[in-house]
């Protein structure tokens, strides 16, 4: 089921943004600060009501789907991951089951699966307040996974992670995509998008500046035009880095 942004307009943020996102892929949204990345993501999640245009999930308009159904279909991870109460990791992850109203056993199984997927089983009984930034980011993502959504929209989930955990998380996102889940991630690191995305959408001042495969959407002329930085991609076919100047 595709997630489609059709001429999305949010006054002051997005101008007629169109994007068709296919399930089973990892899509990364890039752009300079203030380009509208987070707004686009929250509109795709149905949390920002667009002033114009619409978001469609398959055949349905997202606005017509009930809040609970939408919550079960689309998992959303916001950028600021503050947790109000010092709950344990397991309790936190289990909050992702809230829209499902399934039995205790089903919830517990989904929670354990999410904890396992992100290597969090040894931390399950730890309180959130005692976690490192990276552990906390993983726990928050596990909360989204526990809901077993068909779409995962995450706002900069990699920013707080060290290199090893970034790679582990990316591998997991790709594994999910392999299972048919649609993954949409906002990232700042262009090299990361270049090397790990299936599809890239570049936003600039509220409009789509480029979209497509990473080497097309993040070509050197796009980087120069959107970010105003003269840079060139260096590296072999497996992994590339951005050399400035």
Partner 1 sequence: MSRAFLPSLVLGAALLLVFPLCLLAGQVWIDPFHATGPNALVILAQLRLPRAVLAVVVGAGLGASGAAMQGYLRNPLADPGLFGVAPLAALGAVLSLFFGFAAQPYLLPTMALAGAAGGMVLLAVIASGPRAGLAGGVALFTLTGMMLSSLAGALTSLAISVAPNPFALTEIVTWLMGALADRSWHDVAIAAPLTLAGLAVLWRAGPSLDALTLGELAARSLGLEPGRLRLLMVLGVGLVVGAGVSAAGIIGFVGLMVPHFVRPFTDRRPSSLLLPSALAGALLLLLADTVCRLLPLAGGELRLGIALSLLGAPFFLHLLLRLRRGLS
Q: Catalog residues that contact partner 1 under the rule CB under 8 A.
A: 42, 45-47, 49, 67-68, 70-71, 74-78, 80-88, 91-92, 95-96, 98-99, 104, 140, 143, 147
Residue 196 C-beta: closest distance to partner 1, Å:
24
Whichever of 87 and 219 has its CB closer to partner 1, that residue is 87
Residue 149 C-beta: closest distance to partner 1, Å:
9
Whichever of 41 and 190 has its CB closer to partner 1, that residue is 41
Residue 84 C-beta: closest distance to partner 1, Å:
4
CA distances from 205 to 29, 52, 65, 89, 196 (A): 13, 17, 30, 38, 24
Helix (H) or strand (E) holding 117: helix 104-117
Sheet holding 151-155, edge to edge: 74-77, 151-155, 182-186, 26-30, 199-204, 207-212
Residue 85 C-beta: closest distance to partner 1, Å:
4
Residue 47 C-beta: closest distance to partner 1, Å:
5
In DSSP terms, 28 is beta-bridged to 185, 200
Whichever of 104 and 221 has its CB closer to partner 1, that residue is 104
Residue with tokens 């260096």: 234
The pair of structure tokens assigned to 202 is 């570049």
Residue 19 C-beta: closest distance to partner 1, Å:
19
Whichever of 27 and 240 has its CB closer to partner 1, that residue is 27
Residue 194 C-beta: closest distance to partner 1, Å:
29
Whichever of 95 and 159 has its CB closer to partner 1, that residue is 95
Q: Which residues contact 103 (CB under 8 A, 6 or more apart)?
A: none
Helix (H, G, I), strand (E, B) or coil at 52: strand
Q: Which residues contact 158 (CB under 8 A, 6 or more apart)?
A: 166, 169, 170, 185, 187, 189, 192
Residue with tokens 């149905």: 46
CA distances from 165 to 18, 68, 94, 156, 212 (A): 32, 32, 22, 14, 27
CA distance 145 to 162: 21
Whichever of 67 and 228 has its CB closer to partner 1, that residue is 67
Whichever of 96 and 182 has its CB closer to partner 1, that residue is 96
């Amino acid at each position: 089921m595709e997630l489609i942004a059709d001429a999305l307009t949010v006054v002051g943020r997005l101008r007629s943004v169109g994007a068709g996102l296919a399930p089973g892929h990892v899509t990364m949204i890039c752009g300079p600060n203030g380009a509208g990345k987070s707004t686009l993501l929250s509109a795709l999640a149905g949390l920002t009501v667009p002033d114009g245009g619409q978001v469609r999930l398959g055949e349905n308009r997202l606005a017509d789907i009930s809040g609970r159904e939408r919550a079960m279909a689309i998992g959303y991870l916001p950028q600021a991951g503050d947790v109000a109460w010092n709950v344990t990791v397991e309790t936190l992850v289990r909050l992702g089951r809230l829209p499902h109203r399934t039995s205790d056993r089903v919830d517990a199984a989904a929670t354990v699966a999410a904890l396992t997927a992100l290597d969090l089983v040894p931390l399950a009984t730890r309180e959130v307040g005692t976690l490192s930034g990276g552990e906390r980011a993983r726990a928050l993502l596990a909360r989204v996974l526990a809901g077993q959504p068909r779409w995962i929209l995450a706002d900069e989930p990699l920013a707080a992670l060290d290199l090893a955990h970034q790679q582990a998380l990316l591998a997991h996102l790709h594994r999910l995509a392999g299972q048919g889940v649609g993954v949409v991630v906002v990232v700042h690191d262009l090299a990361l998008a270049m090397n790990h995305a299936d599809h890239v959408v570049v936003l600039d001042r509220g409009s789509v500046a480029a979209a497509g495969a990473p080497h097309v959407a993040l070509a050197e002329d796009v980087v120069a035009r959107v970010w105003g930085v003269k840079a060139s991609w260096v590296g072999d076919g497996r992994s590339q880095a951005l050399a400035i100047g």
